[in-house]
Structure 1
Amino acid sequence: MQQLTPEGHKIVSDLSMRYGVSTDAVTHMLFAVLNGNGTMAQFNHPEFAGSGQWMQGGMIMLGDMFNHGLKGSVDGLCNELSSLLANQPGLLRSGSFQSQSQSSGGQQSQASGAPVGNCSLFVPDPRNNWYPSELGAPTSTGSQNNVRYAYFADARRLAVETNGDVWVYDTLDHQIGGFSQQQGMGGSITFTSQYGTVNLASLPVMFRNGQPVQQTTPVAQPTSSSNATPPQETTENARTGTQSEILDAIGRLGKLKEEGILTDEEFTEKKAELLARL
């Protein structure tokens, strides 16, 4: 179980006094909301009438079903805890960034009176810091299948982890809002930005596992397959194939000129266009 920071203990204590329950009850509900990804909680604590369930939007089930005062307290507490967790980078995960945590510069709705801010609730777990530390705190995070994402809007970087490999992309001028992944092994990854749906492969790869990636064009994205071709190899193979195709095309143009189908001027013009692509 994650450990609370001193700031986290202070917040729990404040909620305990305001809702008239013990710190143990608040802590129990905090982890219940966390396990419900911030939108629901299944709990079992005597101060909340035993076992019960809370869902964001007002659906509450308690052992003491006619205790409307307790229902109101549980709903208020859970909403504050949900808002609090939403401001903790990397805690709440889904296949899209749109519902994920935001940095201090992002806009987040929160319940009135919620003791949220730039504090950190939990002691960091080193196992969760899979992205390069120099990128700082992510604007938003998410996961889908066996792929994890961390978006750093200010640094214009995107970190993607799959099969133990960490890829860092330059996001250019994209303002990323969400991700999706096709099902099955090797499924392609796309993201949404102000330009619509974009393939991840269109972004330049800056680093792979901490090592710089030398390239001249955007390269293939990581996939869920462990046999994915390294970016540099993909770029070199593509360049070799392009050169071969252009040289073959020039050879065919030469034959057309020899057969009188192309004039010298037309041959020279087409040849120049092809050579410009090398």
Structure 2
Amino acid sequence: MRQLSPAGQQAVNDIAQRQGFSTNAVESMLESVINGNGSMAQFSHPEFGGGGQWMSGGMTMIGDMFNGYLKGRVDNLCSELARLISNQPDLLRSGSFQSQSQNGSTQYNGSNNSNGAGNGNSLFAPAPPDWWGPDLRFPNSTGGQNDMRYAYFAQARRLAIDVGGQVTVYDTLDHSIGGVSQQSGGYGPQFSSQYGYVNLSQLPVVSINGMAPMAPAPMLAPAPMQAPAFNSNNDSSYSNNTGNNSGSANAGDVFASIEKLASLQAKGILTSQEFATKKAELLSRL
């Protein structure tokens, strides 16, 4: 249950005194009317005859079904509470809405604003920020164990996991997270979907502690290798290509060059004299 502001507590006390119920009962019914968006309520409290329902317009059902006097008092209480929250627009949701209870708390598929924070007449104190950040609302399921907690958001396709204070938000892609169990050996939770086990390492990371993850540095493509140029003319161009760094040439390079020269001679590109000259030059490097 949300925490009442001082103004909200005063309003509950006044209504409790006026309607003849305890403040605890009025707070319980206030939550039920808010859950029903101000037009209906499903409640369960001993002072209201147990479980029951109320709808604006006159339909009221209580567990003590033959107690017409109590039914009228419950109807008056619900009607007054509905008028009270009608002045709190942040408590009302437009369009269709739905509530569901998980882990002993009620979650709402609707507005989750600050309930009039900043308004001195607000019924409720501002809610503390959710640990998963302001960009996600209304988790379908939450849980935790040891120093880990998680929250799953089906509509947003997000899974938030807090481990030791580091909150990582994953994109669940087309996975529909349907369950979580303890991994063997105590290594944390194991999530499952319609495809089986969900490997978190394969899910894109949306944010870490509210910041987008750093993109890896792009890998540079290796420069293409170029064959050494060869000029058959008896000038210095070939000598420059083969003569540079002569001290670092090894025997394999020398013999490979001689084989290329022999091939050029066989094709008639080099004369016998040119071949002999270049061969002697290469051999002198050994």
TM-score range, shorter chain: 0.3 to 0.5
Larger relative CO (CA 8 A, sep 6+): 1 or 2? 1
- TM-score, normalised to structure 2's length? 0.38
TM-score (norm 1): 0.39
